[in-house]
Chains A and B, each alone.
Chain A
Amino acid sequence: MSKGILYDATKCIGCRQCEQACATENGLPYDDKIAAQELTSAHKLTTVVTKDDKFMRRLCMHCEDPACASVCPVGALKKTALGPVTYDKSKCMGCRYCMAACPFGVPKYEWEKAIPGVRKCIMCSKRVAAGKQTACAEICPVGATIFGDREALLEEAKKRIHDNPGTYLNHIFGETEVGGTSVMLLSSVPFNNFGLKTDLTERALPLYTYQVLSRIPDFIPLFGTMLGGIYWITHRREDVAKAEAQEKANHDKGGAE
């Protein structure tokens, strides 16, 4: 069953322990200066955004049908059956199409390095594969970030909204956005307060390119035949001329004998 993360902003106290746990888990430095950054980057894979007195976590959404994995020419990014979208630097060639394509601007680049790679939250794929929960969910002291089966989390999110309609916006961010995501967010204030786009299509993004790409195998023989056919037709006259010349030559030869 596919796993997921549910983050409930109404429970979050902004302690940033998830940031710290994530840094430790991914071998990244963490100090007060980094804690103060509210943008994710190659050295900060998750962040708690503060707007007035409200919080919102940002991390990879782990789309059900991720744009990043679909565009990667070498398959360095992959959606695993368990849910996490993982990255393999040994395959990557650094074209950064994943960064251009991600609807949430998640993948970040190690711009300062001479041998750079893409960095993003990978939903602690090793821990998840070992049956554990993600580092950020494990450490959360108030249960604002919880880990579990996506379906169960979705039910839980619906139940929370249903039971406390006054507390929550009636919107589970990630339920349908770009075809649904494994990470889902709940909030009491509009998501775009925190820079999350709310006008996203509900269609999985890879379908937009696939509807063109999938036609190519059919297109090649048709177009090839058309070009060959045009060549054949437009060069008819030369063939005729050649044949006539041949005939004439034969004729002349015949006449001379």
Chain B
Amino acid sequence: MTVPRMRFTFWKAVFLVIMVAGVYCTFIRFFRGLGASTNLSDQFPWGLWIGFDVMCGVMLAAGGFTLTAAVEIFNIKRFHSIVRPTILTAFLGYLLVCAALMYDLGLPWNIWHPLIMRNPHSVMFEVAYCVMLYTTVLALEFSPIVLEHFKLHRALKIVRSVMVVFVILGVLLSTLHQSSLGTLYLIMPNKLHPFWYSPLLPVFFFLSAIAVGLAMTIFESSMSSKYFGRELELPILRDLGRVLVVVLALYGILKFEDFYHRGILGLVFKPSYEQRFFLLEIFLSVLIPLAMLLVPKIRESAQGLYLAAVLCLLGFVTNRLNVAITGVENAVGGRYTPKWTETVITAMFVALGFAIFGLAAKYLPIFPEEKAHLPALRESVEGAASDPALVVSELAVPVHAGD
């Protein structure tokens, strides 16, 4: 076990470097302004921070509502043991999204303005309200974990008795704002490329949020089993894999129908700047994961599920970035690539996410009690470690380095 320990120290160093760079970039952002800290311009008012930190952040946190809906509302009991980690990811995700938003807003100290200055015709206004309320709901859904830890049984009982209401509210709010992130773009029919501009944009955003919620849960469970020594609940992940197949299939068919009815199927085969990004997105997000998961042998194996989930996540991240950036580049006549400071800040939030998840996983009762047959199952994900996506996840490790 000496080799992994050295690797842990390496990642600890990486984490520290990112944090130090992040603090420096934070300084640039708040004292020198958006012009000095970003490649944003009048052509590109929205860049990496909106495209990734906010849009992908909210999407990647969708596991929270997907799993609570499955377990609490649809009463699918076998998913029960994995609800908590997904609520944690969601809560953390939304907190990080709010923090990242403070960097992107030009006048962040006015972030509370929608509370008293209302424009109900604005999608952004609706998203702001939903995100605010949903973060509160997540805090409440998360509270039993903390209350349990501190053995506050009375409070726990009260929270539990009203939980259903919060669960329903949470699913409702999530449905609204996940889809509304797509609605944001409906006002740009002449700007966003037809690959992405569709009247069904809110539906696509909602469906993909569910797919990502499932993929994220698979990803998370695999990761936790590898790095936090948790048991890998393979049978549960297999079930999730099946649900993922159905959601991806629905998404793919709807996408095809949408393209067909809008008469742009031909564009898919015509080489263009957008076409390359679209193909990348659709292969990663839908076609490859679907093809993989339809093969029983892959669907049943831990590595297969893990790989399909990671591809799916990367694919939908590409999708959000395409909507936010690629799809408008030609309309505004320019190209956008993030400045190093923008990238560092984004990396900082990702690293923070992993680190806080690691801390919470260690100190709070997130995972169900361990069972005896742990080591055997853990071995099976070992093979997934060479995957580049998982390497990022090792950022979480510093908090464990002292173990």
| Chain A positions near chain B (C-beta within 8 angstroms) | 41-42, 67, 70-76, 91-97, 99-101, 103, 105, 108-109, 111-117, 197, 199-201, 205-206, 208-210, 212-213, 216, 219-220, 223-224, 227-228, 230-231, 234-235, 238
Q: Given the known A-B contacts A93-B107, A94-B106, A227-B168, are A71 and B124 also in contact in the complex, defined by CB atoms under 8 Å? A: yes
Tell me the minimal C-beta distance from A180 to chain B in angstroms.
Answer: 16
Chain B residues whose C-beta falls within 8 Å of the C-beta of A72 in the assembled complex: 119, 122, 124
Question: Which residue of A105, A115, A235 contacts B43 across the interface (Cβ within 8 Å)?
Answer: A105
Instruction: List the one stretch of B3-11, B85-93, B188-196, B278-286 in contact with chain A.
Output: B188-196
On whether the beta carbons of A109 and B118 are closer than 8 Å, the reply is: no
How far does the Cβ of A157 sit from chain B's closest Cβ, in whole Å? 23
**Is the beta-carbon distance between A213 and B73 smaller than 8 angstroms?**
no
Task: Tell whether B237 is near chain A: CB-to-CB under 8 Å.
Answer: no
- Nearest CB on B from A56, distance (A): 17
A176 to B207, CA, bound (A): 36
Shortest C-beta distance, A19 to chain B (Å), equals 17
Min CB distance B50 to A, Å, is 8
Q: Mark each residue of chain B from 98 to 120: 1 if its CB lies under 8 Å from any CB of chain A, else 0.
A: 00000011111011011001111
B202–A212 touching, CB < 8 Å: yes
B126 at the binding interface (Cβ < 8 Å):
yes
Give the distance in Å from the alpha carbon of A73 to the alpha carbon of B110 in the complex.
12
Q: Which residue of B lies closest to A96 (CB)?
A: B45
Report whether A206 and B168 are in contact in the complex, using a CB–CB cutoff of 8 Å. Answer: no
A129 to B198, CA, bound (A): 40
- By beta carbon, the residue of chain B nearest A108 is B42
A158 to chain B, nearest CB (A): 25
Residues in A whose Cβ lies below 8 Å from that of B34 = 109, 111, 116
Query: Is B186 touching A231 in the complex (CB atoms < 8 A)?
Result: no
| Known pairs A94-B105, A111-B33, A116-B34; A208 contacts B189 (CB<8 A) | yes
Question: Can you list 12 A-B contacts (CB < 8 A)?
Answer: A93-B111, A93-B113, A97-B122, A103-B191, A105-B332, A111-B33, A113-B33, A205-B189, A209-B121, A209-B186, A213-B183, A234-B73
The one of B30, B108, B121, B328 that contacts A93, using a Cβ cutoff of 8 Å: B108
In the bound complex, do residue A71 and residue B172 qualify as a contact, i.e. CB atoms below 8 Å apart? no
Q: A74-B119, A93-B110 are in contact. List 5 more A-B contacts (CB 8 A).
A: A94-B107, A95-B104, A213-B120, A230-B74, A231-B73
Number of interface residues of B (CB under 8 A): 56
Complex: how many Å from CA A76 to CA B113? Answer: 10
Question: Given the complex, which residues of B lie within 8 Å of A114, measured CB to CB?
Answer: 30-33
Q: How far is the CB of B354 from chain A (nearest CB, A)?
A: 28
Q: Is the CB of A201 within 8 A of B122?
A: no
Residues of chain B within 8 A (CB-CB) of A109 are 34, 40, 42, 45, 106
Which residues in chain B, 9-41, are within 8 Å of chain A measured between CB atoms?
Answer: 30-36, 40-41
Write the residues of chain B forming the contact surface with A, with a CB cutoff of 8 angstroms. Answer: 30-36, 40-43, 45-46, 69, 72-75, 104-108, 110-111, 113-114, 117-126, 128, 164, 167-168, 171-172, 175-176, 183-184, 186-191, 202, 328, 332
Complex: chain B residue closest to A219, CB-CB: B176
Please give, as numbers and ranges, the residues of chain B lying within 8 Å of A99 by CB-CB distance. 42, 45
Which residue of B has the minimal Cβ distance to A237? B75
Which 7 residue pairs of A and B lie closest in terms of their CB atoms, listed nearest first?
Answer: A94-B106, A111-B35, A234-B75, A99-B45, A96-B45, A73-B125, A93-B110
Residues of A close to B114: CB separation below 8 A: 73-74, 93
- Interface pair A100/B46, CB less than 8 Å apart: yes
In the complex, what residue of chain B is closest to A78 when comparing beta carbons? B119
CA distance A42 to B114 in the complex (A): 25
For the complex formed, measure the closest distance between the CB of A77 and the CB atoms of chain B, giving whole angstroms.
9
Q: Across the interface, do A220 and B172 meet the contact criterion of CB distance under 8 Å?
A: yes
Known: A99-B45, A212-B186. Is A94-B108 also a contact (CB below 8 A)?
yes
* CB closest chain-B residue, reference A116: B106
Q: Are B42 and A213 within 8 A (Cβ)?
A: no
Give chain B residues whose Cβ lies under 8 Å from the Cβ of A231.
72-73, 75, 164, 167-168
Contacts of A212 in B (CB 8 A): 123, 183, 186, 202
- On whether A205 and B187 interact (CB within 8 A), knowing A92-B107, A231-B168, the answer reads yes
Interface centre among B30, B73, B74 (most CB of A within 10 A): B73
* Residues of A contacting B73 in the complex (Cβ-Cβ under 8 angstroms): 227, 230-231, 234
Once the chains bind, are B110 and A105 in contact (CB under 8 Å)? no
Let me know if B126 and A93 touch, CB within 8 A: no
A224 to chain B, nearest CB (A): 6
- For A111, give its contact among B40, B121, B175, B188 (CB under 8 Å): B40
Q: B125 to chain A: which residues have CB within 8 Å?
A: 73-74
Minimum distance in angstroms from B229 CB to a CB of chain A: 33
Residues of A within 8 A of B69 (CB): 227
A10-B21 Cα distance, complex, nearest whole Å? 55
A67 and B164 CA atoms in complex are apart in Å by 39
Contact A216 B176 (CB under 8 A): yes
Instruction: Determine if A206 and B202 form an interchain contact, defined as CB atoms under 8 angstroms apart.
Output: no
Residues of A within 8 A of B122 (CB): 70-73, 97
Residues of B contacting A112 in the complex (Cβ-Cβ under 8 angstroms): 33, 35-36
On chain A, the residues within 8 Å of B175 by CB distance are: 223
